[in-house]
Structure 1
Amino acid sequence: MAIPILKEAGSLLARYDVLISDVWGVVHDGLWALEPACAALMQFRERGGAVVLLSNAPSPSQQVAGLLDAKRVPREAWDRLVTSGDVTKSLIAESHHRKVYHIGWTEDRAVFAGLDVALVGEEEADIVVATELNNYRTETPEQYRPLLERFAARGLPFICGNPDLVVHVGEHLLPCAGSLAAIYEELGGSVAWAGKPYRPAYDLALEAARAVRGGRAVDPARVLVIGDAVRTDLAGAKMMGFDSLFIAGGIHRDETMHEGAVEPDGLARVLSGQPAQPIAAMGALA
């Protein structure tokens, strides 16, 4: 059966108590807030709904909140924010490894704040934490293969602080830490994935939703996941038993959009054979 393609989401959103929304590609485009999406979330909250933003951003939520402010995403559009950085910090704290080799931006090192770890060179490391590529504008994941081969040969555990494979920054499609983790698994290495579509991220999101609702339980049938990634957002929703709304104008836009509108055949091709199917699709949340 063909997936309904919506122009407006108001009547659909009204069926739910909680929205778990992706951030990058739904709420902002990597540069600036997507105003119709923010307005839709604000209206949902005004009607009594709870909005939890769930992002595979590798930084702690406090830091990402500041970035959302800088991108002009209104605080009125969301109640709580949960990030892969939050999950990463938890996984590091639970680990007995204390000598960390970090792959990623200097700014991402906020995930190590307050933890009993030391950032060390390749030879000293007993664990690898990848939050991003060191420079995703100039590097490719394959450039890291020799380094990853050496770590895999030593049997070092690998924490992936951003399970996304790629992300749009404006018009550019750039690699994320998930692309490194995929290579590491291919090499036989052990990866802990800190974010969507894995359960720890959704457990934190549900905990946040219950707090917003004054401790009241959350009915899975009244939760809608909004996202632009088949591999993470739609798969995570299915794993949790939640409905999902697919935003076609995000990372799959080259395959699903034509002249600003969702192209049904392209949408069908992207979703074909996928175990996770959304209940509806939109070019952009509005």
Structure 2
Amino acid sequence: MRGRTPLYMVDSIPQSTPLRDGKRSGYTIDPAFVDRVEVVYGANAIQGVGATGGVINYVTVAAPESGDWLNRISLELTTDDFKKNGFHYKASALTATKLGLFDFVLGATFDKRDLYYDGKGRPVGVDTTQGDTMDTQAWNIFAKLGFDLDEDQRLEFMANIFEQEGDGDYVVVPGSIAAGIPATSVKGVPPGDPTYNDARNFALTYRHSNLVGGVLTLQGFYYDFYALYGGDTFPVFQDPSIAPVGTLFDQSALSSEKYGAKLTYAREDT
């Protein structure tokens, strides 16, 4: 509603960076480890951290309650228009099971992407300033360890380390709206260092599923995020007191660190 920014979360850990909305909060975990996505519409202050446009919570994969093994191995090859630099590769592996009172989920992914092409076979213009998913490689390590203290109480630890880095192999060729020509990409080295994301999530959660007829959840979390954006000699950032006009190179980064605790109690039919 009204273009407000949602709060992104991974297992209730806030991923958004409202002090500088860098537009990278929705991609801090590989979809291979996401079991479902919860969407809460409308602004709310329950979670804090700028949920003016609702909440999007990525709920990660859990171990089977039955004690069976969950094993997934995936090798993917996709292509855009069968161009030699339009092939993308991905490998992922995940294993999970429950052993008595103990359960675990372990997984890893690697994803390498080259150029994207449009329906007419033209390479899509790469965004070397804000960052892009094409011309990148990413890896993700995920772990979730759980222990049932008794039939009602549970302790769970989750760790997720995600990194995506641009290869810096292409530069954009500007298009023309008046002429109906889209921006495209050609081989080249963009100025500065390639863009990248580095996200690290850790959480320890205690849950009591039958406390005075309700559910008590206590979670402590830590989140460390760093994002590098593309640089250039932007006219708006030139300062002759620092360097001659047209030579001052600017490349910005976003560094965000969060830690905290949440205490929740929910009871139906109160």
Pair in the same fold by TM > 0.5: no
More strand by share: 2
Instruction: Pick the structure with greater CA Rg.
Output: 2
TM-score bracket, normalised by the shorter chain, equals under 0.3
The structure showing larger relative contact order (alpha-carbon pairs under 8 Å, at least 6 residues apart) is: 1
More helix by share: 1
What TM-score do the two structures reach when normalised by structure 1? 0.26
